[in-house]
Every structure is written in structure tokens, then in C-alpha cells.
Amino acid sequence: MDFNLTDTQQSYVETVKRFVRNEITPRVMEWEREHLFPWTVIQKAWDLGILNLSIPASVKGFEVDVISTALIIKELSYGDTGISTSAMCNDLANAVIAQHGTDEQKEAFLKPFAEGPMLASFCLTEPGAGSDNSAMTSFIKKKDEKTYLLNGTKCFITNASYASQFTVFCKVGKPAGNFMACVIIPLTSIANGDAGTNYLQGKEILLPEGGKVIIGKPEDKLGQRLSNTAGVTFEDVVVEQDQIIGDRRLGFKYVVDVLDYARPMVAAIGVGLAKRALDVTLEYTKERKQFGQRICDLPVARESLVKMWKRLELADIALMKAAFKVQEGSPDRGLYASLAKNTAAEAALFCANEGLHLHGGYGFMSEYEISKLARDAHIIDIYEGVREVQDMIIGREIV
């Protein structure tokens, strides 16, 4: 494993840093206060080629390797983790198609994302099934020899209000079924030109093939307010055979495969936030004086800054090793994906909380970015598998 970036990877990093500096950081606190979904930033990210990174070269025309993807997500997260979550969830939804879909399915369900800025949603979590995916009750059942009907409700779905396509995991035959399927539900009637105008509204979409999709009101969240999160209900949605990805009995395997890919990307989000928290704290403590000297020169404060830096660097190393393992298809990639996810989440929480503490009373004021980062950090420890689930995976693998 070589820690030196290739020319292409260095170009990605510099391009995204410039994008974040010009398009995100100058306005991120304004968007945060107004709870705005930054659709124009998503469009510009697509124009720049840093959206839909999991789409294969056979469809998109060029390939972005896993390490480069992690670098891009990390730099985007330095600007805002809500925006990077929206971007990353496109890949979460589309990676299943890229990994297990037929050439025809890749053309049908991935090509539109290469042709224009669109958002997708990955629909796994349910009100009664969070960490325990086997407890989900959404299901497909046969309508006739060629079609199925999808029914069920998903919750905490990123991009739901603006998604043009849903990747849905569900039981087969009945809610208590033993097998899980992955189906794709495209919403051809949704125009992305309307995105950003209906943040406070739910919507009901009647599908021309039959059935309807109901999008709930966006969630009012503690943090990551620049990503959209809402519930989705599927009522008698007609599913054709070509909308089922791979074997309709192997959905659980597909979940594991895509989460092995996605967890390093969540780690990248955590590392990006931790780096931002350290940088804004360094800037503040270099300017602010107490007891006749800069806060950063006080031994107790410097000790905290060192601890923040160490957590960040260790998380970054874990991220790069996990990305390398996933890229190489190593048998133990899931182990290192879980390690990176946990390490980066811990770094994000530690750096944000210590950074807030070093800001003193000002850190508790919403006008200071560190307060936003402290709120944003908590979800990194939760989504794509809480820390306890990651520890379960690590424990199983090492034993």
C-alpha cells in the first residue's frame, strides 16, 4: 500500500478543495440557519464529476477507484457532512446495481445519473428494523407470472424528498419471509428542476405502471441539516422482473456487499468533519487570548489539540487501509471497513466536542461553526451501522 497519491488522485483532492472553498464554506452557516437543501451545490458537484462515483466505466465512460472516492468524500465533508451524505447516498443506492445488476439494468438505472444531476435513495431502515435488518416487513409478492407488488414503509431515508430513483430492500412473499430482495423503483415523473422548492412538504406519486409512493415530511434533525431525510411508503407498487437486482433471494448478501463499500465512505465523512473541527479550533485558539497568552499556548489547551490531531491522523490511516482493502477485494475488507467507520466516528465526536470546549462559551453559540460540527458529528456514529454493530462485525471476524 502506497500512501503517495497518484497525479489523478491529487488532482481530485485539489479540485474538491477548491470547490469546497468557493462553493460551500462561504455560505454553509447561512444554509444551516435556514435549513435549505443546497440543490445548486449538488448540481455543481455533478458538473464537476464528483457525484455518482460508483457508476462503472461501461456506463459513465470513466472509472473512479475506491481510494479516490474516499478522498473526494473526505474533502467534500470538510465543507459540510450533510452535502457529502447526500452525494454519498447516491453511490450507496447505485453501488448495488453496479455490483450485481445486468448490463441492461446498469444501462436502464445508472445511465440517467451519468446524463444529468439526479438523486437516488437507499431504502433499508424501517421503523421497526434499524440495526436488525432481518426484522424488516416491507415485502414483494407475486401479482402474476411477470410482476410483483411492493408494499412497506421505510424511515430515515436520505434524499427521499428529491430522489428520482429508490433502491429498496424487502422480504420476498410475505413480511415474515426468510429471503430478501433488492428492487429498483424509478420515478420517471419527478423533475429535478423542482428540487429545493418543497422542503416542508410531503408528496404522493402515482406510478404509471401501478401503485404509489408516498414521501413523508422531511425530518427536523439535530444535525446535518443540509441533507434531506424523510420516510417513504410504497403501496402496491408494480415491480417488473427487470427491476429486481440479481437473485431475489440474495438481498441480504447484497446489503453486506454495499455496506462494505459504504462504510469507508462514512469514515471519510467522519475524517473530513474531524479535520474541519481541528482547523476551526486551531484558528480560534490562535486568536483568542486568556491569562495574557494565546489559548493554543496554554499547556492544557495544547494537550487537547494534540489529542485531537492524533485521533484525526489515526482515523485517516484506518480510512485509507479500509479503502485499499475494499478496492483490492480482500476477504477481510468488511473487518477494516468496520474499523475505519468506528475510528472515524470516534475522531469526529472527539474533535468536535473538544473543539467546542476549547471555544468556551462561544462554542455554545450557534453563530460559531464548531457548534454545528458538534451536532453534525453524532449521526456519523449511528448511520450505516452503530458502533456496537461494527464491534459485533469486528468480533466475529477476529474470532
- CA of residue 51 relative to chain centroid, distance: 12
pLDDT in tens, 25-56: 999 999 999 988 999 999 999 999 999 999 99
Contact predicate 157/123, CB 8 Å = yes
The per-residue pLDDT for 383 is 95
Residue 235 bears catalytic tag: no
Q: What is the DSSP string of 136-164?
A: ---EEEESSSSEEEEEEEEEEEETGGGEE
Backbone angles phi, psi at 394, to 5 degrees: -60, -45
The mean pLDDT value of the chain amounts to 94
Average pLDDT over every residue of 67-93: 97
- Alpha helices, DSSP H, located in 237-298: 251-287
Mean pLDDT of 60-79: 96
- Phi and psi at residue 68, to the nearest 5°: -65, -40
Grid coordinates representing 248 are 431475489
Q: How many CB atoms lie within 10 A of CB 393?
A: 22
pLDDT exceeds 90 at position 188: no
Strand extents, DSSP E, the chain: 119-123, 139-142, 147-158, 163-172, 180-186, 203-206, 212-215, 229-240, 289-290, 293-294
> Which of 28, 367, 21, 380 is CA-nearest to residue 225?
28
Grid coordinates given for 180: 430478501
Tens digit of each residue's pLDDT (9 = 90 or more) over 317-343: 999 999 999 999 999 999 999 999 999
The residue to which cell 424487502 is assigned: 170
Which pLDDT belongs to residue 189?
A: 46
Could you say which of 32, 346, 369, 384 is catalytic? 384
Distance (Å, rounded) from C-alpha 165 to C-alpha 334?
A: 27
Chain centroid, CA 125 distance in Å: 14
For residue range 233-253, what is the model confidence (pLDDT) as tens digits?
999 999 999 999 999 999 999
Question: CB neighbours of 30 closer than 8 A, spacing ≥ 6?
Answer: none
- Kindly list the structural domains of the chain, giving each domain's residue range(s) and its CATH number in brackets, ordered by start: 7-115 (1.10.540.10), 119-248 (2.40.110.10), 252-398 (1.20.140.10)
Is the pLDDT score of 200 beyond 60?
no
User: Distances from the Cα of 92 to the Cαs of 51, 137, 330, 394, in angstroms?
Assistant: 12, 21, 20, 22
Taking the alpha carbons at both ends of the chain, their separation in whole angstroms is 25
Amino acid, single-letter form, for residue 75: E
Check pLDDT > 80 for residue 108.
yes
DSSP assignment string, 312-358: HHHHHHHHHHHHHHHHHT-TTHHHHHHHHHHHHHHHHHHHHHHHHHH
Q: Is 193 exposed, middle or buried (0-12, 13-18, 19+ CB in 10 A)?
A: exposed
